[in-house]
Amino acid sequence: MFCWQCEQTRNGTGCEAGGVCGKKPEVADLQDLLRLILTGLSKAALAARAKGHVDNEIDRFTIGAVFSTITNVDFDPPRFQELINKAAAYRDQLKQKADMPECDCEEMNLKPAETLDSLIKQAADHSAYWHKDLPEAATLGLRETAVYGLKGLCAYADHASVLGQEDENLFKFVYECLAATRDKSLTLDDWLAMALKVGEMNVLAMKLLDDGNTGAYGHPVPTKVPLGPKTGKAIVVSGHDLKDLKMLLEQTKGKGINIYTHGEMLPTHGYPELKKYPHFHGHFGTAWQHQTAELPEFPGPVLFTTNCIQRPGPATGDRTFTTGLVGWPGMPQIKADSKGHKDFTPIIEKALSMPGYDMDEDKGEVMVGFGHNAVLSVADKVVELVKSGKIKRFILVGGCDGAKPGRNYYTELVDKAPQDTIILTLACGKFRFFDHKLGEFEGLPRLLDIGQCNDAYSAVIIAQALAKAFDCEINDLPLSLVLSWYEQKACAVLLSLLYLGIKNMRLGPTLPAFIHPDVLNVLHEKLNLTPIGTPEDDLKAMFAQS
């Protein structure tokens, strides 16, 4: 195996004998084989489209299959076997529809081996094929940047699709990008253009998801979320999927079970159609990398709806459930029926058989619900405070948390930011400071939680609306972006921000192993994309811009 797609990659260069995330070599190889066959499927889908044949079932399958290869989503070999077999069957179906001429390229012809053991051997023969097929390191790195951004885009597109939000342009682009990865004639400039196109199309994917979430569950409103438990049986929900949460809330009504969020589910407390359930109680724990230490303390079952899942410890192994694309070997999976309905009875029964909490406890609360609608409803006040010089700067501290050292930077930056600064945040990196008492400034909370990483679109809308109100470009706003990355959704968001021409972003805790230093130099020269420094130096530099 070779995998370097996430920030925690071994030694900052690549995981070779097993992933730091827990990914086994056979899973990495199966993911590579899936990628190879998906490139063939993509060529066939484009040829079929050219003849007017569009199959949305295959389109949905493709984005889901790509999403499955994101860090901390699926670790289960049999599930990859299923995806590989389906991908090959769909590819062959599309080849026939498109009446494609025979070609001797592997991605069009490869037949998956029949048993899982033989498939794993076949996958080993294609292990990291993509890492060996381009001689030029900078071009390879940029192609992989586009591929990892595409994985993030597929995650957003999949979440949106579950809510009925789809766009033909997005499906077609996914096929174009995947098919292009087999074209060795593409140059560094071609891949730079493709990476920025991924960023552009990812804005569309994020918009679809925003429309889906706000359309189904309303616009988030500022909401206090308790961090302490309430007496009663308990289920904790992790991941990013709002539809799963809604179905679980419906099915647990009146059963004496309180529902808690974990990780990236925290901001869901702000959605009117979710917060209306009286048993949707509060939040448990912090960011994903602490799950094995924190979840054993929870006296009820755990439901993972998406990433980031880690190997469950013995204390939680028999009470952890997965649903959707997330998977761990041997862990029970709640599947949707043909209409998308999920029956959560097994997890409800588990909750009823477990002790739950026997007393209420006050552990404080945090505020969520500052999506674009809520923030822009006070835009006039914000503009006035900036124009009068009272608010000096907005700092968006957004992105993922992670286990590697160096992430304290983000905590310190937020704590050391002057009083007249408003901190905007999104994604799981916020758990470094989400419960810090930053107080208010001129009647505005100093810490505004925009939402999940899936809500990065909200940040773009807020920045665009403020720029309009000030009659300036986003780059001229008193706004600094300080990003933390971990997995491939962060790559997609970064590419969107680069596509939008956002300058002066800071990125950490370390830079991606797959981006060649020459490419980083270009990004630094053109857009002043800079690695994070020290909180003190970076704050000084941000305020020098004002």
List interacting residues with ligand SF4 (CB under 6 A): 3-6, 8-9, 15, 19-21, 23, 71
CA distance 331 to 323: 10
Q: How many residues form the binding site for ligand FSO (CB under 6 A)?
A: 16
CA distance 283 to 238: 10
Q: Name every residue whose Cβ is closer than 8 Å to that of residue 53 and which is 6 or more positions away in sequence.
A: 94, 97, 98
User: Of these partners, ligand SF4, ligand FSO, none, which one is at the site of residue 225 (CB under 5 to 8 Å by kind)?
Assistant: none
Q: Look up residue 102 and give its two tokens.
A: 């025979």
- Give whichever of 4 and 217 is closer to ligand SF4, judged by the CB atom: 4
CA distance 192 to 186: 10
- C-alpha atoms less than 13 angstroms from C-alpha of 87 in its C-beta half-sphere: 33
Shortest approach of ligand FSO to residue 415 CB, angstroms?
Answer: 21
- Give whichever of 40 and 402 is closer to ligand FSO, judged by the CB atom: 402
User: Of these partners, ligand FSO, ligand SF4, none, which one is at the site of residue 23 (CB under 5 to 8 Å by kind)?
Assistant: ligand SF4
Residue among 263, 267, 270, 512 that touches ligand FSO (CB under 6 A): 263
**Residue 310 interacts with ligand FSO (CB under 6 A): yes or no:** no
- Give whichever of 39 and 72 is closer to ligand FSO, judged by the CB atom: 72
CA distance 532 to 243: 36
What string marks each residue from 231 to 250 as x (binds ligand FSO by CB under 6 A) or -? ---------x----------
- Give whichever of 29 and 487 is closer to ligand FSO, judged by the CB atom: 487
**Residue 490 interacts with ligand FSO (CB under 6 A): yes or no:** yes
User: Of these partners, ligand SF4, ligand FSO, none, which one is at the site of residue 15 (CB under 5 to 8 Å by kind)?
Assistant: ligand SF4
- Give whichever of 73 and 98 is closer to ligand FSO, judged by the CB atom: 73
Residue among 80, 487, 514, 538 that touches ligand FSO (CB under 6 A): 487
Cis peptide leading into residue 21 (ω within 30°): no
User: Of these partners, ligand SF4, ligand FSO, none, which one is at the site of residue 8 (CB under 5 to 8 Å by kind)?
Assistant: ligand SF4
Shortest approach of ligand FSO to residue 427 CB, angstroms?
Answer: 4
Shortest approach of ligand SF4 to residue 336 CB, angstroms?
Answer: 26
Shortest approach of ligand FSO to residue 238 CB, angstroms?
Answer: 8
Q: Which residues face 507 on adjacent strands?
A: 483, 531
Q: Look up residue 446 and give its two tokens.
A: 């100093």
Q: Are the C-beta atoms of residues 545 and 480 closer than 8 Å to each other?
A: yes
Question: In one letter, which amino acid is 32?
Answer: D
51 three-state secondary structure = coil
- Give whichever of 23 and 233 is closer to ligand SF4, judged by the CB atom: 23
User: Of these partners, ligand SF4, ligand FSO, none, which one is at the site of residue 498 (CB under 5 to 8 Å by kind)?
Assistant: none
Q: Is the dihedral of CA 466, 469, 473, 478 positive or negative?
A: negative
**Residue 325 interacts with ligand FSO (CB under 6 A): yes or no:** no
State the residue number with the nearest CB to ligand SF4.
Answer: 19
Concatenate the DSSP letters of all residues of 523-534 into one string. Answer: HHHHH--EE---
Shortest approach of ligand SF4 to residue 18 CB, angstroms?
Answer: 8
Which residues within the stretch 27-86 sit at the binding site for ligand FSO (CB under 6 A)? 72
Q: What are the C-alpha distances in Å from 137 to residues 28, 149, 176, 198, 533?
A: 21, 18, 22, 20, 27
Q: Look up residue 334 and give its two tokens.
A: 């709640």
345 three-state secondary structure = helix
User: Of these partners, ligand FSO, ligand SF4, none, which one is at the site of residue 344 (CB under 5 to 8 Å by kind)?
Assistant: none
Binding segment for ligand FSO (CB under 6 A), chosen from 37-45, 291-299, 338-346, 486-494, is 486-494
Shortest approach of ligand SF4 to residue 486 CB, angstroms?
Answer: 9
CA distance 112 to 125: 12
Calculate helix-pair angle for 408-416, 535-544, nearest 10 degrees.
50
3-state secondary structure 198-262: HHHHHHHHHHHHHHHHHHHHCCCCCEEEECCCCCEEEEEEECCCHHHHHHHHHHCCCCCEEEEEC
Q: Are the C-beta atoms of residues 485 and 510 closer than 8 Å to each other?
A: no
User: Of these partners, ligand FSO, ligand SF4, none, which one is at the site of residue 3 (CB under 5 to 8 Å by kind)?
Assistant: ligand SF4
Residue among 191, 434, 486, 514 that touches ligand FSO (CB under 6 A): 486
Calculate helix-pair angle for 77-98, 25-50, nearest 10 degrees.
20
CA distance 33 to 394: 44
Residue from 362, 377, 107 nearest 231 by CA? 362
Q: Are the C-beta atoms of residues 351 and 234 closer than 8 Å to each other?
A: yes
- Give whichever of 40 and 512 is closer to ligand FSO, judged by the CB atom: 512
- Give whichever of 122 and 307 is closer to ligand FSO, judged by the CB atom: 307
Which residues within the stretch 399-438 sit at the binding site for ligand FSO (CB under 6 A)? 400, 427-428
Concatenate the DSSP letters of all residues of 416-444 into one string. Answer: HS-TTEEEEEESGGGGGTTTS---EETTE
CA distance 380 to 370: 16
Which residues within the stretch 276-305 sit at the binding site for ligand FSO (CB under 6 A)? 288
**Residue 479 interacts with ligand FSO (CB under 6 A): yes or no:** no
Q: Are the C-beta atoms of residues 102 and 184 closer than 8 Å to each other?
A: no
User: Of these partners, ligand FSO, ligand SF4, none, which one is at the site of residue 83 (CB under 5 to 8 Å by kind)?
Assistant: none
Shortest approach of ligand FSO to residue 449 CB, angstroms?
Answer: 13
User: Of these partners, ligand FSO, ligand SF4, none, which one is at the site of residue 288 (CB under 5 to 8 Å by kind)?
Assistant: ligand FSO
- Give whichever of 409 and 485 is closer to ligand SF4, judged by the CB atom: 485
User: Which stretches of the chain bind ligand FSO, using CB under 6 A?
Assistant: 72, 240, 263-264, 288, 307-308, 400, 427-428, 452-453, 486-487, 489-490
